[in-house]
Amino acid sequence: MNEQGDRCIIVFVKAPKKGFVKTRLAERIGNAEALLLYRAFVSDILSTAARVDANIRICGYPRGWEHHAAQWTQNVPHVFTQTGADLGERMVNALACAAADGFRRTVLIGSDIPEITETLLEEAFCQLANHDAVIGPAMDGGYYLMGFSGNRICRAAFADMTWSGPDVYENTRKRLAQNHNTVYALQPLADIDTVEDLRGLASRMAGETRQHLFRTRQALATMQWI
């Protein structure tokens, strides 16, 4: 394989439907604005991923999700549906599918971290040359990125996990260590799940000189209360 064929980025998304995405935010800002933000987050994350030399797969949930995401799926040629009984099983299946297709380094990212950069993604791939796994901790106790080298996928790291709990990252690190996986941790990033998270994001973006996250900036500009 060439360099791009060696590396795969899987982006996990939900069907962009009103009332189905960013539900905690929607309780405060309404379903319409929450959906606007979610669409913007995913568009910007895909734009970031496209700047990395890697194969990009967008993997959505539930079945039929792609009919609600025409813009995303037109821009990403490799479109999949998540399969599995819970989030952990769906992630394992997506990672295993990429490994079975011959990718030697695969990272999976979510759609709640618009601030992820191509530098972080490149760092993840570089570290997978020397580690079995790489993980990006989120500031709420979860993680925003999980990657594995080849077929070193540790299924035990995903099984029977309380995904909404504050100890997901720590418990995952422990399970990886218990299964003899060498692990590299990236810098922490903030999930954008609450109004407070959103205000923090807007503040950080206002202080930056580089004009990135174009769609997210557009969405935030319509929200006068931020």
Q: What is the mean pLDDT of residues 181-204?
A: 94
The pLDDT of residue 1: 43
Judge contact between 56 and 106, C-beta under 8 A: no
The pLDDT of residue 224: 67
Model confidence band, residue 3 (pLDDT cutoffs 50, 70, 90): very low
* Amino acid (one-letter) located at 198: L
CA distances from 118 to 38, 47, 64 (A): 20, 10, 29
Torsion of CA 98, 3, 211, 201, to 10 degrees: 30
Model confidence band, residue 145 (pLDDT cutoffs 50, 70, 90): very high
Establish how many alpha carbons lie within 13 A of residue 64's alpha carbon, considering only the half-sphere containing its beta carbon. Answer: 1
Model confidence band, residue 125 (pLDDT cutoffs 50, 70, 90): very high
Q: What is the mean pLDDT of residues 188-209?
A: 90
Residue 75, pLDDT above cutoff 70: yes
CA R_g for the chain? 17
Q: What is the mean pLDDT of residues 88-113?
A: 96
The pLDDT of residue 201: 93
The pLDDT of residue 225: 60
Question: What is the rounded average pLDDT for all residues in the chain?
Answer: 93
Domains observed in the chain: 3-220 (3.90.550.10)
Paired sense of beta strands 7-14 and 55-61, if any: parallel
Token pair for 200: 């923090």
Q: What is the mean pLDDT of residues 37-55?
A: 96
Residue 153, pLDDT above cutoff 60: yes
Residue carrying structure tokens 């109004």: 195
H or E element at residue 136: strand 133-137
Paired sense of beta strands 55-61 and 78-81, if any: parallel
Judge contact between 127 and 183, C-beta under 8 A: no
Judge contact between 77 and 58, C-beta under 8 A: no
Q: What is the mean pLDDT of residues 8-26?
A: 96
Q: What is the mean pLDDT of residues 197-225?
A: 85
* Amino acid (one-letter) located at 201: L
Q: Determine the Cα–Cα distance for residues 31 and 52; give it in Å rounded to an integer.
A: 32
Q: What is the mean pLDDT of residues 15-40?
A: 94
Q: What are phi and psi of 12, to 5 degrees?
A: -85, 130
Q: What is the mean pLDDT of residues 189-210?
A: 88
Under 8 Å CB-to-CB from 178, ≥6 apart: which residues? Answer: 156
For residues 224 and 133, which has the higher predicted lDDT (pLDDT)? 133
Q: What is the mean pLDDT of residues 24-32?
A: 93
Q: What are the pLDDT digits (tens) for 155-190?
A: 999 999 998 889 999 999 999 999 999 999 999 999
